[in-house]
């Protein structure tokens, strides 16, 4: 809001919307329409009844829709952030939601607005996550959605097309589903690195060893990153995750091939993209210092929706547990403060260490389902850094609890012992961590059959399950996993998408904020508009300002999410 107020855009937007001009606010773009928000401000849930009369919150909105944007309540067992594919309950004709039907759409947020008697006329759909919250609004030509249509596959693209071309009717509607609640996610992971010839390839390790067991010991090559990401999107993956396992070690912002992979993938993959590898503070050869926030920002500008932090999060957690002080300087804290915790995933790489007695170590131990090689009944999970090569004096349980407090919004839980074995996920580990935290946990390492996915979802509180090798080698198709989950009665996202040509719509936005508006100065063509010096925020304001007709293209806007 600070940016809108400082540039005078708040009044321009109010006037634009009050005049019933075509408008679509996405995620924070919807939340801005309400009176107030408690995000980055006081907890309004502690204030009694009439907030608008007796209390002035930290963040004002545009004040066009009655209501306060508040944080989800995690005390009822629901994980916050609300991340994943959930169902809509259509309240009235919204026009742009005509093709949604009983299908899932993608949400990623920690704050939401609630239905009230005085905002009912605006509400076009709700979603249930503990309570019913406002999923979309519509009044005349003004629309807003809490979910991300640009990340909701075919059904999301149909929403954008209907907004941009309200009189058009597509020849093919998205496949109908049976969405009723938050779905369990199936994620395709691509481990990316340069091979010995210098080519960027997708590889897969066997307990983190990515080289073939041959005389040449070449890096295992399972395909090209952009092509595989596109294929997994077509196959129905709910998310795609890139892990750059060798890049960015010395000069993160100089790893142009990986940034190009993200840019090209984001042009054709309309589900969330996560990227990890080397996100940390560093100093280049010329002595210039770069913060982890700058590195992450480059990832986001290149098309990432979430970033994954590994080793750097371990070091930050160790320091926090030792001092009990949040310095605000760790990569985890910096990035989550600016982009929101829903944008930050912490990747944990633990190794199982068997014990004869739970009192043998100071870390959290469990009684294992299967005894160790010498009959041990207990184990703890030692965290590692540097690709599993170095063990650290911290357990997976302690690390998970610490990073949640430091601002992580999701945990990617690997297991070195299970990696590449195809014998199933480490249920003991996943249950331990998913029961310990209130943020979503992604199960990783060990999938070898469709049954392993239903097992991890029924025996733990994992929100998603990730696999790599079985998808790359076509041993288990993604749709076979989805079909099996349906058979087992586990909510999952339905059919693979049917891509639409990108010239049919505009998708303008950046992490957690998008404003989509028709541009009246581009003849009859729809295209992305980028202003100078503004990054993705510049794309938003460039298009918005042109549609309103207030100023020229030369707009310089901040990309700090906390100022919006």
Strands 111-113 and 289-290: unpaired
Nearest in space to 251 (alpha carbons), one of 293, 286, 216: 286
At residue 476, the 3 state secondary structure works out as: coil
Interatomic CA distance for residues 398 and 453, integer angstroms = 26
> How many other CB atoms are found less than 10 A from the CB of residue 202?
24
Say if residue 515 is exposed, middle or buried (CB neighbours under 10 Å; 0-12, 13-18, 19+). buried
Helix boundaries (H) for 272-395: 292-301, 311-323, 331-339
Instruction: Tell me the two tokens of residue 326.
Output: 């949040």
Alpha-carbon distances of 513 from 31, 62, 141, 340, 540, rounded to whole Å: 10, 15, 20, 11, 9
Instruction: Tell me the two tokens of residue 128.
Output: 């249930």
Residue 510 per-residue DSSP state: B
Positions marked catalytic: 27, 148, 150, 191, 349
At residue 37, the 3 state secondary structure works out as: strand
Please name the helix (run of DSSP H) or strand (run of DSSP E) that holds residue 124, with its range, or none.
Answer: strand 123-129
Interatomic CA distance for residues 107 and 89, integer angstroms = 14
Interatomic CA distance for residues 206 and 270, integer angstroms = 30
Instruction: Tell me the two tokens of residue 110.
Output: 């920690």
> How many other CB atoms are found less than 10 A from the CB of residue 561?
20
Residue 175 per-residue DSSP state: P
Nearest in space to 444 (alpha carbons), one of 476, 472, 466: 466
Q: How many CA atoms lie within 13 A of 158 on its CB side?
A: 21
Question: How far is C-alpha 125 from the chain's CA centre?
Answer: 22
Nearest in space to 200 (alpha carbons), one of 253, 244, 264, 266: 244
């Amino acid at each position: 809001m600070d940016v809108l107020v400082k540039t005078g855009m708040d009044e321009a937007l109010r006037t634009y919307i009050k005049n019933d001009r075509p408008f679509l606010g996405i995620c924070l773009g919807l939340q801005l329409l309400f009176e107030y928000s408690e995000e980055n401000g006081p907890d309004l849930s502690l204030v009694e009844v009439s907030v608008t009369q007796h209390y002035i919150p930290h963040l004002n909105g545009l004040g066009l829709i009655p209501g306060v944007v508040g944080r989800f309540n995690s005390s009822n067992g629901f994980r916050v952030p609300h991340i994943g594919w959930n169902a809509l309950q259509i309240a009235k004709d919204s026009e742009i939601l005509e093709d949604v039907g009983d299908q899932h759409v993608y949400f990623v947020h920690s704050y939401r607005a609630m239905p009230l008697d005085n905002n009912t006329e605006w509400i076009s759909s709700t979603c249930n996550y503990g309570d019913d919250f406002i999923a979309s609004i519509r009044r005349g030509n003004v629309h807003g959605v809490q979910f991300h249509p640009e990340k909701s596959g075919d059904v999301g693209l149909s929403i954008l097309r209907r907004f941009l071309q309200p009189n058009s009717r597509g020849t093919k509607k998205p496949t109908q589903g049976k969405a009723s609640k938050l779905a369990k996610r199936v994620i395709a992971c691509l481990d990316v690195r340069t091979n010995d010839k210098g080519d960027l390839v997708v590889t897969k390790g066997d307990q983190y060893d990515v080289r073939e067991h041959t005389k040449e010991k070449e890096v295992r090559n399972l395909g090209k990153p952009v092509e595989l990401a596109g294929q997994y999107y077509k196959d129905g993956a709910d998310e795609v995750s890139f892990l750059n396992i060798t890049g960015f070690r010395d000069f993160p912002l100089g790893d142009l091939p990986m940034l190009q992979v993200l840019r090209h993938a984001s042009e054709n993959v309309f589900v969330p993209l996560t990227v990890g590898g080397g996100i940390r503070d560093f100093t280049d050869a010329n002595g210039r210092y770069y913060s982890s926030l700058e590195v992450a920002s480059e990832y986001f500008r290149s098309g990432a929706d979430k970033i994954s932090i590994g080793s750097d999060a371990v070091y930050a957690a160790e320091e926090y547990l030792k001092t009990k002080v949040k310095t605000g300087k760790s990569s985890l804290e910096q990035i989550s403060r600016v982009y929101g915790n829903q944008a930050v995933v912490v990747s944990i790489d633990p190794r199982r260490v068997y014990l004869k007695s739970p009192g043998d170590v100071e870390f959290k131990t469990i009684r294992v389902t299967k005894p160790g090689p010498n009959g041990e009944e207990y184990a703890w999970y030692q965290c590692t850094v540097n690709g599993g090569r170095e063990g650290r004096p911290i357990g997976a349980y302690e690390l998970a609890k610490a990073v949640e407090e430091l601002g992580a919004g999701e945990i990617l839980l690997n297991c070195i012992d299970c990696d590449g074995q195809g014998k199933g996920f480490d249920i003991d580990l996943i249950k331990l961590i998913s029961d310990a935290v209130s943020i979503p946990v992604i199960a990783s390492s060990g999938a070898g059959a469709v049954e392993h996915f239903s097992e991890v979802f029924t025996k733990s509180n994992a929100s998603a399950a990730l696999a790599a090798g079985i998808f790359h080698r076509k041993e288990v198709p993604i749709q076979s996993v989805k079909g099996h989950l349906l058979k087992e009665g586990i909510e999952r996202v339905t059919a693979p998408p049917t891509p639409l040509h990108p010239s049919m719509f505009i998708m303008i936005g950046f992490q957690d904020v998008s404003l989509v508006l028709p541009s009246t100065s581009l003849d009859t063509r729809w295209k992305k508009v980028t202003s100078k010096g503004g990054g993705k925020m510049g794309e938003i304001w460039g298009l918005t300002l042109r549609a309103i007709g207030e100023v020229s293209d030369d707009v310089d806007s901040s990309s700090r999410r906390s100022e919006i």
